[in-house]
Amino acid sequence: MVKDPVCGMEIAKEKAAAHKEHEGKTYYFCSASCRDKFTASPQDYTQKEAGEDAHKGHGGCC
C-alpha cells in the first residue's frame, strides 16, 4: 500500500489511477485530479511529509 500525498488515502500501487516521479521518488495518486494538484505544487505535499517525519524523528525527548 502507498499513500496518496494529496488526500492521504491509502491505495494499492497497482490500483493507483496516476503516479508521478518527483525528486527520484514515485508518488501514487487515487485520481488524476490528485496528481494534478501535486504537479501544480509538489512542495506543498512533499514538505508536509518531510516535516512530519522530522517531527517523529525528534521523538519525545524535548
Among 27, 28, 30, 45, binds Zn ion (CB under 5 A): 30
- The amino acid at residue 51 is G
Which of 5, 16, 34, 38 lies at the binding interface for Zn ion (CB under 5 A)? 34
Q: Whole-angstrom Cα distance, residue 23 to residue 56?
A: 22
Residue type, 56: K
CB of 58 to Zn ion, least distance (A): 28
Pattern 2-21, binding to Zn ion, x per CB under 5 A? --x-xx--------------
- What are phi and psi for residue 20, nearest 5 degrees? -150, 140
End-to-end CA distance of the chain: 32
Which parts of this chain interact with Zn ion (CB under 5 A)? 4, 6-7, 30, 34
